[in-house]
């Protein structure tokens, strides 16, 4: 079954700030032999040089690439002939890129020196991204400053820091000055600056920099030991305690044990107790009890106590441990603490102990934006739906709104504020919040808000028609031109990171449409979807691009076993319309079918089948996926909620959740609460995303009415 595996869209990095000044060499003694230094990003291969030479390649005159070369990108019909018919890639550019393939930076730049500006920029950018030993820190920094809109800005800064560490004959003061504008973003830069600070006698500056990194960085035990050997004198017991608690919360108990001697004389008892809990050892309770009284209130001990009691099906005792944490304490790994609070609170909700569940989640603080969103939502939802206390719920939903920036999270916050105001009898206030939520009409809660407002259809804006100004600006955009050149040169891998960067930066919906249409005509539906999603989040009125309709072969769209919009809705979530997608579990193709499931379905409907066809024949994959969906719909008496949950987590889990949370087909069960009660976060998200996809695809394929309310009640008697 195709559950529990999602495909992540690629993203580009954001430039953190310019590295300034001439800079010096401060070697990193912890560089791994033969490879990149500690933690330095190297997506294109190791940061080493090669000996390949291309001196025989002449610096021949080459044609200058201009905006005319990419005019087809903005042509009215956007034919698939672009860019190969529109561009002649120079021999010099090909030679320079070939030299980079051989890790010969000097040869590449020798050839590039005679190339036009844009082609030289392309060679420089590719060289920087690959981490070759050659570009100077000044050259990298100047390139990044001159091209702030080009992808991989943070990676470029990291490369500048690596180059800085390789530079020679510069004083520590010069190195420190190079980081005045912004702190290092790489491990290499951090080590270099720490060493420079120490050489300058700026010991506290060195300690603060190292301690911040030490508190959160994921390293091997060997790397921990190397750092302690060379830099241990800079770190305080408090610094070690922070790292100790971080490692313990991440279940890296053995590694944490190596730091126990720096934390305190009895810290090993915390390690022994944590290790027993993580292993599920029979003596875990005894180990927890053996922790000295002076350490019983330590947050990491209370974390272990909570986890152990939760695993022993004692959520009240787990809650007591979580609530015993000093509210003023700074917790290492707040995200891990939230996971424990969430699981414990949901166990309590299931047992009918909503007040205690609310206290557990309301006490949370800190963590990532996603963690804060989840904590605020749970607290508000528990208060409203299980304590019937809208006054208590509203501040939590307001806090959720304050940390929500994307359509899905914005709509959720506004919708639940509307529900809380409605429960409090303030209908006009509720309507205002529903109106805010309804603006994000491609989101699950935005669609539910439209139902609340009595709006029976989506109102997706028509795709913007590119203006002449759009076409001109697009054709003159140096990043668009670089993209076209790289594609024409057959450098798809280098070009790949440019698409999402353009989707984030192109200033108008018309220009984004030019990009997305070009990608669609090249047949890359996954990339077209990625572009559409990014641009839709920017409010450019291109929501339709985030729901492409050419991604399933036309013959497979007709006569499907379930409504065609459902096939699209599932494929969008399962594979992002990548027909060759294969999950770690072996699910394949557009609808991520397991071969065994597909084979059984093929026999049932009487079509020829082989496992290879799941990725080679997207039409067959869609046909089999639709038939399998029909089986699930029939199994669950027409319930779409249960069908989607079963497609993601398996029919057995869907049946289990019916037993635990009630049957969403029962009119007395609130289907929205039922979805939110699903214990698997992935499946909760999946059901909501597929349901919202379904509404949009109905509108895109047939301009029908908004049917989300009916969909949530399907199967009800």
- SS3 labels along 149-167: CCCCHHHHHHHHHHHHHHC
Output 77 or 653, whichever has higher pLDDT. Answer: 653
Domain presence at residue 650: yes
Give the range of the structural domain holding residue 681, as residue numbers without chain letter.
636-717
In CATH, what number is assigned to the domain containing residue 586? 1.10.530.10
Same domain membership, residue 643 and residue 678: yes
Those residues with Cβ within 8 angstroms of residue 103's Cβ, 6 or more apart along the chain or in another chain: 48, 49, 50, 52, 130, 132
Q: Final residue of a domain: which of 635, 653, 675?
A: 635
Q: Final residue of a domain: which of 584, 608, 635?
A: 635
Residue 666 has pLDDT above 70, yes or no: yes
Domain presence at residue 9: no
Same domain membership, residue 600 and residue 647: no
Same domain membership, residue 645 and residue 603: no
**pTM, entire model:** 0.86
Same domain membership, residue 615 and residue 692: no
Q: Among 314-323, 500-509, 697-706, which stretch is predicted with the lowest mean pLDDT?
A: 697-706
Same domain membership, residue 715 and residue 657: yes
Per-residue pLDDT band for 66 (boundaries 50, 70, 90) equals very low
Angstrom distance (rounded) from CA 7 to CA 23: 41
Q: Which is catalytic among the residues 574, 676, 682, 692?
A: 574
pLDDT tens digit sequence for 8-65:
222 222 222 333 333 333 333 333 333 322 233 333 333 333 323 233 333 333 333 3
Domain presence at residue 162: no
Indicate the DSSP class of residue 65.
P
Per-residue pLDDT band for 287 (boundaries 50, 70, 90) equals very high
Distance of CA 567 to the CA centre of its chain: 24
* pLDDT for res 87: 67
Domain presence at residue 598: yes
Task: Kindly give the residue spans of alpha helices, DSSP state H, lying in 102-152.
Answer: 105-112, 117-130, 137-146
Same domain membership, residue 559 and residue 631: yes
Same domain membership, residue 656 and residue 643: yes
Domain presence at residue 214: no
Query: What would the mean pLDDT of 312-331 be, rounded to a whole number?
Result: 95
Domain presence at residue 427: no
Into how many domains does the chain fold?
2
**How many CB atoms within 10 Å of residue 490?**
13
Residue 706 has pLDDT above 60, yes or no: yes
φ, ψ dihedrals at 102, nearest 5°: -85, 10
**Is 574 in the active site?**
yes
606-636: b or e for each residue (b if 16 or more CB lie within 10 Å)?
eeebeeebbbebbbbbbbbbbbbbbbbbeeb
pLDDT tens digit sequence for 252-286:
999 999 999 999 999 999 999 999 999 999 999 99
pLDDT tens digit sequence for 455-503:
999 999 999 999 999 999 999 999 999 999 999 999 999 999 999 999 9
Residue 667 has pLDDT above 80, yes or no: yes
Query: What would the mean pLDDT of 441-451 be, rounded to a whole number?
Result: 98
Query: What would the mean pLDDT of 602-607 be, rounded to a whole number?
Result: 95
Peptide bond into 83 cis (omega under 30): yes
pLDDT tens digit sequence for 157-199:
999 999 988 877 778 999 999 999 899 999 999 999 999 999 9
Per-residue pLDDT band for 613 (boundaries 50, 70, 90) equals very high
Output 464 or 4, whichever has higher pLDDT. Answer: 464
Query: What would the mean pLDDT of 118-147 be, rounded to a whole number?
Result: 94
Residue 72 has pLDDT above 70, yes or no: no
Query: What would the mean pLDDT of 116-136 be, rounded to a whole number?
Result: 94
Same domain membership, residue 612 and residue 663: no
* pLDDT for res 215: 93
- Give the HSE-up count for residue 209: Cα atoms under 13 Å, Cβ half-sphere: 25
**Angle, CA 699 vertex, CA 694 and CA 701 arms, to 5°:** 90
Same domain membership, residue 664 and residue 642: yes
Domain presence at residue 189: no
Residues above pLDDT 70, as percent of the chain: 88
Same domain membership, residue 673 and residue 609: no
Q: Final residue of a domain: which of 615, 635, 655?
A: 635
pLDDT tens digit sequence for 370-410:
999 999 999 999 999 999 999 999 999 999 999 999 999 99
Domain presence at residue 177: no
When the pLDDT of each residue in the chain is averaged and rounded to a whole number, the result is: 88
């Amino acid at each position: 079954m195709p559950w529990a595996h999602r495909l992540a869209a690629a993203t580009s990095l954001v430039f953190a700030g310019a590295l300034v000044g001439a800079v010096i060499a401060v070697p990193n003694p912890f560089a791994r032999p033969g490879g990149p230094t500690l933690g330095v990003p190297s997506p294109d291969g190791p940061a080493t040089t090669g000996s390949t030479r291309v001196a025989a390649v002449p610096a021949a005159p080459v044609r200058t690439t201009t905006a005319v070369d990419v005019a087809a990108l903005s042509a009215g019909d956007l034919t698939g002939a672009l860019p190969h018919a529109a561009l002649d890639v120079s021999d010099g550019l090909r030679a320079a890129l070939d030299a980079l393939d051989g890790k010969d930076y000097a040869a590449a730049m020798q050839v590039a020196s005679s190339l036009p500006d844009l082609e030289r920029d392309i060679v420089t950018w590719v060289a920087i991204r690959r981490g070759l030993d050659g570009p100077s820190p000044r050259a990298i920094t100047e390139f990044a400053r001159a091209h702030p809109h080009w992808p991989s800005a943070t990676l470029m800064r990291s490369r500048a820091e690596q180059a800085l560490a390789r530079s020679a004959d510069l004083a520590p003061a010069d190195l420190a000055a190079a980081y005045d504008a912004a702190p290092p973003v790489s491990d290499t830069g951090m080590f270099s600056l720490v060493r420079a600070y120490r050489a300058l006698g700026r010991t506290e500056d060195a300690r603060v920099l190292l301690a911040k990194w030490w508190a959160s960085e994921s390293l091997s035990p060997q790397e921990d030991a190397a750092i302690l050997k060379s830099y241990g004198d800079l770190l305080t017991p408090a610094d070690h305690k922070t790292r100790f608690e971080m490692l313990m919360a991440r279940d890296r108990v053995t590694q944490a044990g190596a730091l126990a001697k720096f934390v305190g004389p009895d810290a090993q008892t915390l390690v022994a107790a944590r290790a027993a809990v993580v292993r599920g050892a029979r003596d875990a309770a005894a180990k927890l009890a053996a922790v000295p009284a002076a350490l019983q209130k330590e947050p990491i001990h209370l974390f272990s106590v909570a986890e152990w009691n939760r695993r022993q099906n004692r959520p009240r005792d787990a809650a007591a441990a979580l609530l015993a944490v000093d509210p003023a304490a700074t917790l290492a790994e707040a995200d891990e603490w939230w996971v424990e609070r969430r699981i414990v609170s949901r166990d309590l909700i299931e047992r009918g102990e909503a007040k205690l569940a609310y206290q557990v989640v309301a006490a949370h603080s800190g963590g990532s934006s996603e963690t804060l969103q989840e904590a605020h939502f749970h607290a508000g939802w528990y208060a409203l739906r299980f304590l019937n206390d809208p006054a208590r719920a509203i501040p939590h939903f307001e806090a959720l709104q304050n940390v929500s920036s994307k359509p899905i999270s914005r709509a959720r916050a506004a919708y639940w504020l509307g529900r809380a105001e409605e429960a409090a009898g303030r209908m006009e206030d509720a309507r205002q919040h529903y109106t805010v939520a309804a603006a994000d009409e491609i989101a699950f809660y935005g669609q539910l808000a439209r139902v609340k407002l009595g709006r029976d259809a989506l109102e997706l804006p028509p795709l913007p028609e590119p203006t002449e100004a759009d076409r001109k600006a697009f054709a003159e955009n140096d990043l668009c031109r670089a993209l076209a050149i790289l594609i024409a040169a057959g450098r798809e891998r280098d070009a790949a990171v440019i698409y999402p960067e353009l989707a984030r930066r192109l200033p108008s919906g018309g220009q984004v449409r030019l990009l997305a249409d070009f990608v669609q005509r090249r047949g890359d539906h996954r990339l077209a979807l990625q572009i559409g999603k990014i641009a839709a989040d920017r409010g450019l009125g291109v929501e339709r691009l985030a729901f492409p309709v050419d991604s399933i072969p036309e013959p497979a769209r007709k006569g499907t076993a379930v409504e065609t919009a459902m096939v699209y809705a599932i494929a969008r979530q399962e594979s992002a319309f990548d027909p060759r997608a294969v999950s770690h579990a072996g699910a394949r193709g557009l609808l991520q079918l397991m071969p065994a499931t597909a084979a059984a379905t093929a026999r049932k409907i009487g079509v020829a089948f082989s496992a290879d066809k799941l990725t080679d024949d997207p039409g067959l994959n869609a046909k089999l996926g639709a038939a399998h969906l029909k089986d699930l719909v029939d199994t669950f008496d027409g319930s779409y909620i249960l069908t989607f949950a079963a497609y993601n987590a398996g029919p057995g889990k869907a049946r289990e959740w019916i037993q635990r949370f009630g049957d969403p087909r029962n009119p007395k069960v609130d289907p929205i609460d039922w979805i939110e009660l699903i214990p698997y976060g992935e499946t909760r998200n999946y059901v909501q995303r597929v349901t919202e996809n379904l509404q949009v695809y109905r509108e895109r394929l047939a301009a029908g009415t908004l049917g989300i309310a009916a969909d949530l009640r399907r199967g009800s008697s």
